[in-house]
Copies of this chain bind each other. A is one copy, B any other.
Amino acid sequence: METLYHQVADQVETLIRDGVFRDGERLPGVRVLSRQLGVSVATVLQAHQTLEGRGLLEPRERSGYFVRRPPVDAPEPAMSAQDVRPVPVTLRDMAMDLCSDEEKRMVPLATAVPHPDYLPIRQIQQASIWAARRGLESLDYAFPGKSAFRRQIAQRMAALGVAVSPDEILATNGAQEAIIMALRAVTSPGDIVAVESPSFPGILQALEVVGLKVIEIPAHPAEGLSLEGLQLAMDQWPIRACVAVTNHSNPMGMRLSDEHKQRLVSLLEDAGVPLIEDDIYGDLAHSGERPRPAKSFDRTGNVIYCSSFSKTISPGLRLGWIAPGRHFPAVRQQKYFTNLATATLPQIAVAHFLEQGGYDRYLRGARRTYRESVERLRSAVARYFPAGTAVSRPSGGFVLWVQLPANCSGTQVYRLARERGINVAPGIMFSTTGKYENCLRLNAANPWTPRIEEAVRTLGELSAAVLSD
């Protein structure tokens, strides 16, 4: 339920974003706004407090509310350059360092894992107790997935314009496993796979573990994967699959338009190249409609759809799914040979949570929370980082992609930050070809505390220091 004051806050935010009110300007008084917008003074005040929470307004004593948005705002990062040739993927242990026990004691800006306050812990706890009480039903094998779970997933996918039967869906241990199984089903070691760049490190790790070569396709910060870049790469190389995070990708947050998705699906279908779609952030669109997946434009079963509840319900459930289209038999065999089935109890718990409407209720609040959190962190980066820093403007999800001024080593900032107990993800993790040495990815899914704000300030100072070295 969108409350009135949230509607007002959204209206004012749009005015600020559109430049109607500029940074440092004083907003019209609450009485004026109350009259203009036809709402009570109390509602305007509540809206102002919300916008303060979003980091967009600043109250000054006896003077009213001032727009706090940085004058120029940080620009968005530029599109990356096209790579010359595919390369084998060999990563470092860095990814594992990020989620070591040590990280839990550090300021957690590195991994794309929401703070527990952002998750429906209490509800899923109730659903788990409900599931545990089912006894045998929650404890027997569920290959290739519990039917109650698969039915709920099929219903949700239908609502997104994807017609799949429950029998065409497999439960997986998260989306990572889904992507790995998809890759193994449609490629052989040594094959070349196209991915958007910068790439979610988990996708690069999946390519490494399967023994594949990668060609990184440039992505526009707002529009996503360049179709021209993809076509160019396909003209040059025998590409066997393409992996793309179609909605609010990690790390850039870009969301492909429907038209873009449709063209991507056609392009790959015509070339006989399977599209492995990772849609784990789609449910976390910050506002408006839940975006459609590319799979909804798939008419031939060429799109292998992967998703999970790790970002939205809880990572420890390890519950995802895959709808492999015409590659179903190969993926089913991968699943069976690899670990037979996914744990049953989480499937029953999540099916119950979905069926009872709890998930949709949770998402309505979560979308706003994530929007505010991302905006707040974005503002802080713009405020504290050196001039020349660009930062992504995601319309969903909860990570920010920070591009430091050229020649400022993000890896160096990452190292210095760890010494100060702050964990961030260095840009080099997001490519195999060293393209993002001057970048960082930050996780915005943390309640805003002085400790977090201080950490962002420190990161800004460290960046400035590294820059002037």
Chain B residues lying within 8 Å of A138, measured Cβ to Cβ, are 125, 128, 316
Looking at A340-348, A358-366, A382-390, the stretch in contact with chain B turns out to be: A340-348
Chain A 164-190 near chain B by CB (<8 Å), digits 1 or 0 = 000000001110110010001000010
Tell me whether A135 and B121 are in contact (CB under 8 A).
yes
Contact size class for A? 35 or more
Tell me whether B129 and A333 are in contact (CB under 8 A).
no
Chain B residues lying within 8 Å of A116, measured Cβ to Cβ, are 136, 139-140
Whether A132 sits at the interface, judged by CB under 8 Å, is yes
Interface-central residue, A131, A172, A339, by most chain B CB under 10 Å: A339
Whether A113 sits at the interface, judged by CB under 8 Å, is yes
Whether A133 sits at the interface, judged by CB under 8 Å, is yes
Tell me whether A132 and B135 are in contact (CB under 8 A).
no
Chain A 255-285 near chain B by CB (<8 Å), digits 1 or 0 = 0000000000000000000000000000000
Whether A448 sits at the interface, judged by CB under 8 Å, is no
Chain A 114-125 near chain B by CB (<8 Å), digits 1 or 0 = 001001011011
Chain B residues lying within 8 Å of A139, measured Cβ to Cβ, are 116, 119, 121, 124-125, 128, 314-317
Chain B residues lying within 8 Å of A211, measured Cβ to Cβ, are 189
Whether A351 sits at the interface, judged by CB under 8 Å, is no
Whether A289 sits at the interface, judged by CB under 8 Å, is no
Tell me whether A316 and B341 are in contact (CB under 8 A).
yes
Q: Which residue of B lies closest to A209 (CB)?
A: B337
Whether A95 sits at the interface, judged by CB under 8 Å, is yes
Known contacts A189-B211, A318-B340; decide if A136 and B121 are in contact (CB<8 Å): yes
Q: Which of B122, B180, B343 contacts A317 (CB 8 A)?
A: B343
Whether A68 sits at the interface, judged by CB under 8 Å, is no
Q: Which residue of B lies closest to A146 (CB)?
A: B316
Chain B residues lying within 8 Å of A340, measured Cβ to Cβ, are 173-174, 176, 315, 318
Tell me whether B113 and A141 are in contact (CB under 8 A).
yes
Quote the shortest CB–CB distance from A344 to chain B (angstroms): 4
Report how far A341 CA is from B116 CA in the complex, Å.
17
Chain B residues lying within 8 Å of A113, measured Cβ to Cβ, are 141
Q: Which of B93, B122, B143, B208 contacts A99 (CB 8 A)?
A: B143
Tell me whether A344 and B316 are in contact (CB under 8 A).
yes
Tell me whether B173 and A142 are in contact (CB under 8 A).
no
Whether A332 sits at the interface, judged by CB under 8 Å, is yes
Q: A139-B314, A174-B340 are in contact. List 11 more A-B contacts (CB 8 A).
A: A116-B140, A129-B133, A138-B316, A176-B339, A176-B340, A180-B338, A189-B211, A205-B337, A315-B340, A317-B343, A319-B343
Query: What are 14 pairs between A and B in contact, CB < 8 Å?
Result: A96-B336, A99-B141, A121-B136, A125-B139, A132-B349, A139-B317, A173-B339, A173-B340, A177-B339, A180-B337, A315-B340, A316-B345, A318-B339, A345-B345
- Nearest 10 interchain pairs by C-beta: A316-B344, A128-B132, A177-B339, A173-B339, A139-B314, A209-B337, A343-B343, A318-B343, A129-B132, A205-B337
